[in-house]
Amino acid sequence: MASRLLRRVALTLAILATTGGFMTLPDAAAQGRRNVLINRVRVPDDTLRLLEQTFNARVPDGRYWYDQMSGAWGMEGGPTAGFTIAGLPVGGPLPADISRGNTGVFINGRRLPLVDLNGLQQLVGGPVQPGRYWVDGQGFAGLEGGPALVNLKQLASNLYRQNGGVGENYGNGGSAYMNMNTGIGIITDGQGSGAVFNH
């Protein structure tokens, strides 16, 4: 998996180098190109085609946020919609207000909206104090500038085994789980992509 990720990142970097990086939205609209913005920066069409071919999925035109450190993503102005591979060199820096967060909890610089904070608190089993935290693509998390204090992926796995949820394994590491008490669930392809949902 690590070598596959490195190939994907290398291909993305090659496209970025040949296309000259990113264009602003007015330039894109004037040229009639697709409008996919990540962290308020337009993704060039060549880069977008490469990503779509690599992940075998079409990215609809729209405004998204992407956390390069954790792989979390969502629609601009909204909460986390899912997780993908961390470290993709797309979009600009992650703005603190990209999710219209209204809590005092920041993860990798993004202020969490209440729905994200509620999901995080459910996962850790208690309140999360206001502050600045980091989370990496493997699920390790801690206070900004400090060491890892917890692994969120491990906590999610423990919830699966302990809390009256329902789950399925799909082979190749893919699985889904939903806690019947909270309605919060997770689905993953086992290859680095997944989504958290609240039913």
More confident residue, 17 or 39: 39
Band of residue 163 on the pLDDT scale cut at 50, 70, 90: low
**What pLDDT, in 10s, does the model give residues 53-87?**
988 889 999 999 999 999 999 999 999 998 889 99
Whole-structure pTM value? 0.69
Query: What single-letter DSSP state applies at residue 61?
Result: S
Domain count, the chain: 1
SS3 41: strand
- Collect all residues with Cβ–Cβ distance below 8 Å to 108 and sequence separation of at least 6: 67, 69, 70, 94, 133, 134, 135
**Residue 151: exposure state from Cβ atoms within 10 A (0-12, 13-18, ≥19):** middle
Nearest CA-CA partner of 93 in 26, 146, 156, 22: 22
Question: Cα–Cα distance between 95 and 92 in angstroms, integer?
Answer: 8
- Is the model's pLDDT at 47 over the cut of 90? yes
Question: For residue 52, what are the domain limits?
Answer: 2-198
What are the tens digits of pLDDT across the range 112-162?
Answer: 999 999 999 988 989 999 999 999 999 999 999 999 999 998 888 787 676
